[in-house]
Structure 1
């Protein structure tokens, strides 16, 4: 009943929708927009590549710490107030990021910007959903889905354009006018649902908050920095990994024994929610993993710009957004979530196998189009059904608690996916390079002819005999490196696809509780 009382109409609903979408986009775009500006930041602030990598890591850590607490914080301070404060926090620290004079200032400001951004995505989803009547919530999710799915692809091309035409601080400054407007509109138009009594300060689970921040923050650090720091050969990675393990152990113990836990873990007794959280993790693994690998391949191997790579992903994102209202209608008409999720995973396998087949050192742009459309359809069939499957047997306050788990697991799945893919590719590339080198015997006539031909071409351009020979071998080494890289990308596509294919039988065996039906809108927040 409370949800119905929050339904808006006319221009008021349009304003709330735009405000929520802008806030969601601010959060999503800022996770990827800095990637193309890291080199400029490094030069301007006198930082090393390792240090500048913390600009990405700090934001992710702030994000992932705050997401599980969003539901509780909304209840404590009221959703509108908490949402407005989060926008202001995000906006203020965007300004400070642009004015940072040292790399560690920027890293600290990015952490707090991430803390503000953590609430924007989850809360904006709830606000836009509750502003629409039940019969129009499929439309609401299509609008919201467009922002969520297109957002990550806007970051690199937008960041590339800003850096090319201005300087890196402007990637943060563009948040300021949007943040100010969104704050004012939130305070003027967004309403809060009525919650029960607030938790007294003496009853707040302060220890739980500390343990959650320490454990999740440590885990995110390990995932973000592991490959760059050579994993457990680095003392800090080992220390944070141990901290994460013990932090999660004591956090779980605390939440199961404290009378007012910050995160209600008992809701995980629900079988469908447990399956849903695992599937959300896998979804995040595939979604963020594939979003990460394609721009990396097109830029590093094919030589595309960040803008070209970002534009490549837009048709796929639009396809996913187009699919969302269709999937919502199918769910409301009684189609089982298991069937849609299974079909979505099968399509993701087809997309991955397709990618495995077409990748070469010079794949054309046209070759990606239909492959990415299949990805878009597959993702559209996974996003909403996995969430509805997870929450289908929960009631009342449990829905919000369960949604926080699926959201956090999707985020962690993405972090695990990127970390795993980065490590896997580095090791597979070295393995493929060794295999290719072992098959290139310089005694073979064909190899000798190729090297001689390269040598003569360099000599014709004025190089000496020895210099031309060295350049010929360098060209051959570059070709080997490039081919090894392509083979490692192919391996990633294949293994990602197989992972999704293996999950299908487990999804089909999940049982729905008879007589239980959930509104699609409830599943989305």
Structure 2
């Protein structure tokens, strides 16, 4: 068998495993490491919150577009060569990201970095799985799974440490360079390619489908990111890209249903469990990436924490997820239905969001976050493996790979959609809450006048003349209103994400499970 021929032993297998894990870590760490550097990027590059959100979404879009192409590219150029080329692209773009002088440059290089990174995550799992004999495949999956869990854990604290210690956000990209060089050399030396048989002609790839996918996703993201700034459909640009997104989406679906070799195999969605699984993957990506985006942003922008403090805050929750993974795997092996675990995960994630909604204030203490985030860790542990298992439970053979590619793409797309939607929603809600709060301030109200007078006296005590002290007092009052409005918008985000997860619970419970007790689901092709 093809997989049997790629089995490695001894030190060679150790080197291949470490190389693949390092590459997967590079990809995953770079998804989250920039979260705690967004404020520094905003200040250094003169960008708005919506613009700097593109640093994350551009990377995710690059991932989404390349994932469906990975199988064809591996066959065309050989897995080893394609894997090495992806590492080289990722490493070069890391250097270019660090050297970016404008926000637009950084966004372009992050997109290209995401194109290189998409192959690293997808191919690393296959390389590790095929390097182990069948009886040790579960160990290979466990090794890979721990790497996947550690990645998001390392990102924020590592990024925070670099920002606070060296005060230079480009370093978060430069640290990829030596690891990328070493991984490239080891890949070329040790990784082997399977024999795929005759190569397919370049004319057989669905170039039109790729173009329509890029047009659809790119236009949709631009509308979500820029819509608020451009006053939505009063802007000709937003109207144009909305039309492009709708047309791109329509013709992409039409193309994939009619093409001989579609880039995304939509026919596999005839399986009902996979249809539900792709929706759940999208929602999980929305919650996973949305919450890892909003929490560091809140703690830094509102609470004034350092980047390191914001990053370290997420570590216990990620470790809890890592702890939960083998527990969930054991429950599934003993026959606990996947839909029960997914429903429990959705419910736990709702309570995490509701907890966040209740504790968010302009000065929430650090201790208040611990158990809330531990609940997030439990929820993610309950969701990650069972959603993949549920999605693939009705598929066989080649369909498993096609289904896994689809759920992986939807998870990434859900994340980029979530971040774009959250930044736009927060901008609108902050302005709405500010208007509501200002309407309750009355310059003739004795209580408001007393508050302004107290602040004026405070500024005068620090040496300001009465007229300037009064101006500063009103500015401070306005600043307090704005801060409270932002806190209310963060609360709204937690509430709406929580409700979205809660509404999924009854639908998940209606899904049939095709997995019998004691049956082991093959996730070797899961992305």
**TM-score, normalised with respect to structure 2:** 0.90
Q: Distance in 2 between matches of 1:41 and 1:357?
A: 30
Change beyond 3 A, Cα 1:356–1:202? closer
Gaps of 5+ in 1: none
Report the Cα distance in structure 1 between the residues aligned to 2:514 and 2:451, rounded to whole angstroms: 67
Structure 2 counterpart of 1:475? 476
Length, aligned pairs only: 524
| 1:250 CA drift (Å) | 1.8
Q: Which moved more, 1:132-141 or 1:176-185?
A: 132-141
How far apart are the structure 2 equivalents of 1:523 and 1:258? 24
Q: 1:304 to 1:51 in 2, by over 3 A?
A: closer
Q: Distance in 1 between matches of 2:515 and 2:92?
A: 49
Please tell me whether residue 313 in structure 1 is matched to residue 310 in structure 2.
Answer: no
> For the Cα contact (< 8 Å) 2:227–2:238, is it kept in 1?
yes
Question: Which of 159-168 and 86-95 deviates more?
Answer: 159-168
What is the DSSP-based 3-state SS (H/G/I as helix, E as strand, rest coil) of the residue aligned with 1:513? coil
In 2, are the aligned partners of 1:388 and 1:523 still within 8 Å (CA)? no
Distance 1:491 1:35, change over 3 A: closer
Q: CA deviation at 1:3?
A: 4.2
CA gap of 1:312–1:51, structure 2 versus 1, over 3 A, is closer
Rounded Cα–Cα distance in structure 2 between residues aligned with 1:333 and 1:193: 34
Q: Name the CA shift for 1:346/1:225 in 2 (closer, same or farther; >3 Å).
A: same
Deviations 1:483-521 (A, max 9, x none): 222122112112111111110110010012376955253
- Residue 240 of structure 2 corresponds to 239
State the distance in 2 between where 1:134 and 1:376 align.
31
Q: Does 1:519 align with 2:521?
A: yes
- What residue is the counterpart of 2:250 in the other structure? 249
Q: Distance in 2 between matches of 1:81 and 1:180?
A: 14
Q: Secondary structure at the match of 2:523?
A: helix
Q: Distance in 2 between matches of 1:237 and 1:7?
A: 52
Contact 1:455 1:465 in 2 (8 A): yes
Alignment partner of 1:354 is 2:381: no
Secondary structure (helix, strand or coil) at the match of 2:305 reads coil
5 Å-filtered alignment, 1:26-105, equals: 26-34=26-34, 49=48, 55-56=55-56, 58-99=58-99
User: Aligned partners of 1:47 and 1:481: how far apart in 2?
Assistant: 21
Mean Cα deviation higher: 128-137 or 17-26? 128-137
Instruction: Tell whether the 8 Å contact from 2:57 to 2:420 is kept in structure 1 after alignment.
Output: no
How far did residue 129 of structure 1 move? Answer: 3.5
For the 8 Å contact 2:338–2:513, the answer to whether it is kept is no
The secondary structure found in structure 1 opposite 2:439 is helix
Who is 2:210 aligned against?
209
TM-aligned CA deviation for residue 280 of structure 1: 0.1
Distance (Å, rounded) in 2 between the aligned partners of 1:264 and 1:298: 42
Listed one character per residue, the Cα deviations across residues 299-325 of structure 1 (whole Å, up to 9, x for unaligned) are 111100111101000110111111112
Question: Which residue of 2 is the match for residue 115 of structure 1?
Answer: 115
Is the contact made by 2:62 and 2:115 (CA closer than 8 Å) also made in structure 1? yes
C-alpha distance after superposition, 1:424-445 (max 9, x if no partner): 2222222222332233334333
Distance of 2:39 and 2:487 partners within structure 1: 24
Most deviating of 155-164 and 206-215: 155-164
Please report how far the alpha carbon of residue 460 of structure 1 lies from its aligned counterpart in structure 2 after TM superposition. Answer: 2.1
Q: Deviations over 1:7-52 (max 9, x none)?
A: 44443333222212211221222234445556766777x7655877
Give 1:74 shift.
2.3
CA distance in 1, matches of 2:230, 2:24: 32
Matched residue SS, 2:524: helix
Question: Contact 1:227–1:423 at 8 Å: present in 2 too?
Answer: yes
Residues 348 and 497 in structure 1, CA contact (< 8 A), matched pair in contact too:
yes
**2:13 aligned partner:** 13
SS at match of 2:210: helix
Between 33-42 and 70-79, report the one with greater CA deviation: 33-42
2-side partners of 1:56 and 1:307: how far apart? 19
1:183 and 2:184 correspond: yes
Contact 1:340 1:385 in 2 (8 A): yes
The whole-number CA distance in structure 2 between the counterparts of 1:185 and 1:86 is: 14
1:505 and 2:498 matched: no
1:51-450 to structure 2, matched below 5 A, reads 55-56=55-56, 58-99=58-99, 106-133=106-133, 136-163=136-163, 164-165=165-166, 167-195=168-196, 197-450=198-451
Query: Which of 16-25 and 503-512 deviates more?
Result: 16-25
Further displaced range: 460-469 or 174-183 = 460-469
Aligned partner of residue 439 in structure 1, secondary structure: coil
Q: Distance in 2 between matches of 1:317 and 1:285?
A: 17
Note if contact 1:384-1:524 (Cα within 8 Å) is conserved in structure 2.
Answer: no
Give, in whole Å, the separation in 2 of the partners of 1:377 and 1:400: 28
Q: Once the 2 structures are TM-superposed, how far is the Cα of residue 101 of structure 1 from its aligned partner?
A: 6.3
Report the secondary structure of 1:522's partner residue: coil
Match of 1:458 in 2: 459
Scaled by the length of structure 1, the TM-score of the pair is 0.91
**TM-superposed deviation, 1:54:** 5.7
1:118 & 1:307 partners in 2: Cα distance? 27
